[in-house]
Chain A
């Protein structure tokens, strides 16, 4: 496939700065912007069809900010509705593979910037962007057999399209909220890290994102459909053996098999007993602090020592490598938002310390009552200070009333 600009993973993360900017679509200066991927029936999609409604890149004045709607329609006999968000995120990923084409945010916040160099090289039409999308969708995801892409740059037409997209987003969000471990029939496993840590296996549920933070339940679902024998696969739940720490019989079986017998029981939501193993690339650590009978959270980008005196590197050394280490789990940061977060141990009520940036990021997921009771590096730099702080704020762990 030949394009006027280069396309490849080397352009991911490339910025288009103000001085390089030719034009932008969406972003803070524009009201009308939206992006949506939906699954259609096989006969409803004409593969490869690219439609542009409104003026194209080459027609627009340099330096301007313009409205944009992107609509991707895909079809394939194996597709199911739960994969739509996964496919929609691919718009972001694929667009960023294009040289001089920067895509950020999503849904009705989408923001695209096109560089002068790219336009000079011939990226003068959204048709080319459409061609990239049409090429990449079925290449990466062979269960997609047909793709059609529509770009809308006419402000009025974008406004007309927006409400229907908002409805879809709302339905999806409702679905995510309703998705609990109890409701779904299957979880997903991921053994990508086994190429480096051979006994680690990640169990991904709607309420537990992968440790690296990169694979959620929807991603696992899509990946396992695309390549059932690949590194992400279906894990049946089996019988719920312990509702509190959350142990499922078939999860245990899969873990035993995939870890070559290294682990045979997995508590999905506890740092005690038989906690989930940790690979090496976890975003953060939940660690037990025996002195206060609470749990601390430490993230990879926190460069100092945590409240128990260990920096991330030291603590990570304790729990990584696919081994079960009681008192520690590696976790994706987003797991903090999960209603099942360390359910077996008291959840967020058991958390006594976390870096300030994480606390701020999680603000909307922590109850106002607990928010002020969780210490950060500003409140406590060691266990003594932590104990003093927890006493002062009457943290539930101090009275043992966290469950």
Chain B
């Protein structure tokens, strides 16, 4: 199925000669397949199925254990890979549809020729779109072109999951990697659209510190709560309030990514917390109006809103909740339906929904009582507990809910308070309780009312920042870029995210965060009462801690890695995916950490990063994604070419980065591993010294005495040995018979496999 070249050039505006068009404009599923296969040769898929059956079609169900094949001929690895692809497609379609909605909405508002201007500090406005598609988006209409390309790709990807299609697990993995790539592309288009269309901050690092935490919400005012990812409706609320001088009088807050994006619109908006705070917060009854948009929104919000006495406006075709669509009705009439008839409604026009929310909140708030349950009443409720412990058994995080409630009934607050900090308030415990104890409600009495600060999302990394870190990255004083992303399914609450970020920021790594991870990181204070957002500088610099923004802003993290290649090293980026990904894999010491990833979107994002050559560390819960990309150190193919001489460096075993997707079970081990995954084969001796210094120091701090057992694999010459451990390490190397080896001048995989990339581009 060859593409029409003329058509392709037309789509990407080939006549626009900002850079020559590279080898792979608008890549199809198979265009970058060889790159995927080369990655998968070293980083082999590792499957951990939950279920050995395939129940996809009516021939089955088919038992796939012990080498058995299904009725269609599929084996378990291929079936599992197919399952992963389906999940990646779900994630991709969520971001893609979100982008589609936003872009269409903003084009309606501003016109398709509305210019994209990301400010003085950002010239390379869309590194992913440029590199993957070969298009340089200049107007909102160009972003729609991006989404159209993503949509085309998605059809083919989903199609391949039908019974009787793809028959090899590696090809399914290539498709997952492709889905991940398209996912990042869609996210970049979506975030650029909202930055341009909503005037979100860009070209500044020092974005405002906004209030965070459920205790920060002023319940004496009418409160509007937005949940989800598409901030169009809640932004319309902000506009309405601003235009009517009501901003002081109404509290606007959000949960999950829509909270990020509304604080990018107005720094007076507040962030309640990450997605796991939904049930708890709704049940507090503080919100007068709840606006739901899309993704990661609880499916029982209508029921919960009713229970809490809050009004509900659903705004997305993705989440209609069976409600009446009132989009075509007059605003006055809708307000009346909600305030007087107590109806929950679906309004698909964001502007209308935004205004209705504001007016309803103002109308109903004075008549609502918003009191937290007090300790005495809560204890009384807890006294009903008969100690059956069914609640603890139901807890997905194995928290001792029952014991905490029981102790609380006896007057002990601490245990329940600690449990709440780790609790995601999923509510499964309550469902099991034979005495119908409102456990989540009881938690209100012990939950801290403390307020925190979070730096609001700043959007893309600036071109000049990339230049400024160029030298310290070369010289090694910045040992790596660590990105903490994703959702809130952490094993030990928000604390672990904050601690990990702090460990790397104090060691002068560049620490980037986004989405729910950025919120979690802000919910911990140091001894001076400062959150990580107040403690470290907000720039892309040594020891900087940055919030790029919501989920879709994750694209700017990949964008920063691409910019290192395209801006700092001036590699031609246009439609030159393999070349840039190869550069990132071998030279940009970046590592993603999705410590609490739960969603299909997170899987797609992680897989997208993997295709760019960025390793991703997942927290323990993410084993449930059922697929990892792991190497087996020395045994796998680490052969590399020195691009300078174009000669293969045989027997050159340096597992850097060691894995592309790995689950790590504890914070301690994760910290040590992340330091290792920032090592790259191009490290200069000084750079390698500093990276190894942290690897060793962190190993000693968290794992104990001695050295990591793979340390010798990362030491090429004595000049790589960190000066702080010189003598011990040299003694150790002597003992194990280590021999020095040459450093590869220009490590590359290009030309070591059948590639469309041109090796001349990397020089």
Contact = CB atoms under 8 A, between A and B. Distances in A.
Whether chains A and B associate is: yes
Interface of A: 1, 6-10, 12-13, 97, 135-136, 139-140, 142, 192-199, 212, 214, 227, 230-231, 260, 262, 279-281, 300, 303-305, 311-314, 316-317, 320-323
A12 B477 CA distance: 9
Given A8-B724, A198-B762, 5 more contacts: A10-B694, A135-B724, A212-B474, A300-B468, A323-B570
Contacts of A280: 467, 470, 567-570
Interface in B566-581: 567-571
Contact of A195 (B122, B567, B571, B682): B682
Given A9-B693, A303-B121, A197 B569 contact: yes
Contacts of B726: 139-140
B470 A279 contact: yes
B570 A313 contact: no
Contacts of B463: 313-314, 316-317
Given A260-B763, A320-B568, A192 B474 contact: yes
Which of the listed residues B462, B471, B643 has the most CB atoms from chain A within 10 Å of its own CB?
A: B471
Given A9-B693, A313-B462, A317-B463, A305 B475 contact: no
A281 B470 contact: yes
Interface stretch (B246-254, B402-410, B652-660, B684-692): B684-692
12 contacts: A9-B690, A10-B506, A139-B727, A192-B686, A196-B470, A196-B587, A214-B475, A303-B121, A313-B122, A314-B463, A320-B570, A322-B570
Contacts of B468: 281, 300
A322 B473 CA distance: 17
A281 B474 contact: yes
A230 B724 contact: no
A340 B763 CA distance: 31
A8 B464 contact: no
Contact of A10 (B470, B507, B763): B507
Nearest to B726: A139
A194 B683 CA distance: 10
B120 interface: yes
Given A139-B724, A199-B763, A214-B475, A321 B569 contact: yes
A194 B123 contact: no
Nearest to B120: A311
Contact of B123 (A214, A314, A320, A323): A314
A313 B121 contact: yes
B564 interface: yes
Contact of B685 (A231, A300, A321): A231
B568 A303 contact: no
Nearest to B687: A195
Contacts of A197: 568-570
A312 B123 CA distance: 10
Q: Which 7 A-B pairs have the closest CB atoms?
A: A321-B570, A281-B471, A313-B463, A281-B470, A139-B726, A280-B568, A139-B723
B683 A195 contact: yes
Contact of B508 (A10, A194, A316, A320): A10
B431 interface: no
B544 interface: no
A168 B521 CA distance: 52
A140 B570 contact: no
B61 interface: no
B693 to A, nearest CB: 6
B739 interface: no
Contacts of A139: 723-724, 726-727
A8 B724 CA distance: 7
Interface residues of B, number: 51
Contacts of A198: 569, 643-644, 745-746, 762-763
Interface string B676-720: 000000111111001001100100000000000000000000110
A198 B571 CA distance: 10
Contacts of B686: 192
A280 B687 CA distance: 17
Interface of B: 120-123, 462-464, 467-468, 470-471, 473-475, 477, 506-508, 542-543, 564, 567-571, 587, 643-644, 682-687, 690, 693-694, 697, 718-719, 723-728, 745-746, 762-763
Given A195-B687, A214-B471, A300-B464, A313 B123 contact: yes
A20 to B, nearest CB: 11
B727 A1 contact: yes
B693 A8 contact: yes
Contacts of A311: 120-121, 464
- Interface majority SS on A: helix, strand, loop or mixed? loop
A196 B121 CA distance: 22
Given A9-B693, A214-B471, A195 B120 contact: no
Contact of B475 (A192, A194, A317): A192
Given A139-B727, A313-B464, A192 B684 contact: yes
Contacts of A316: 463-464, 467, 567
Contact of A230 (B464, B697, B719): B719
A13 B507 CA distance: 11
Which of the listed residues B467, B506, B587, B745 has the most CB atoms from chain A within 10 Å of its own CB?
A: B467
Contacts of B682: 195-196
Contacts of A231: 684-685
A214 B507 CA distance: 21
Contacts of B568: 196-197, 280-281, 320
Nearest to A311: B120
A193 B569 CA distance: 9
A193 B512 CA distance: 24
Contacts of B762: 198
Contacts of A196: 470, 473-474, 564, 568-569, 587, 682
B381 to A, nearest CB: 45
A335 to B, nearest CB: 15
A12 B724 contact: no
B467 A281 contact: yes
B570 A136 contact: no
Nearest to B680: A195
A320 B724 CA distance: 34
Given A192-B475, A320-B568, A13 B724 contact: no
Contacts of B543: 13
A196 B725 CA distance: 27
Nearest to A283: B471
Nearest to A320: B570
A312 B694 contact: no
Contacts of B697: 6, 8
A227 B719 CA distance: 8
Contacts of B763: 198-199, 260, 262
B467 A300 contact: yes
B477 A9 contact: yes
A76 to B, nearest CB: 16
Contacts of A300: 464, 467-468
Contacts of B745: 194, 198
Nearest to A278: B570
Nearest to A9: B690
Contacts of A1: 724-725, 727-728
Which of the listed residues A6, A198, A212, A303 has the most CB atoms from chain B within 10 Å of its own CB?
A: A198
Which of the listed residues A136, A192, A197, A281 has the most CB atoms from chain B within 10 Å of its own CB?
A: A281
A133 to B, nearest CB: 12
A281 B474 CA distance: 9
Contacts of A230: 685, 719
Nearest to B470: A281
Contacts of A312: 464, 467
A316 B682 CA distance: 23
Contacts of B723: 136, 139-140
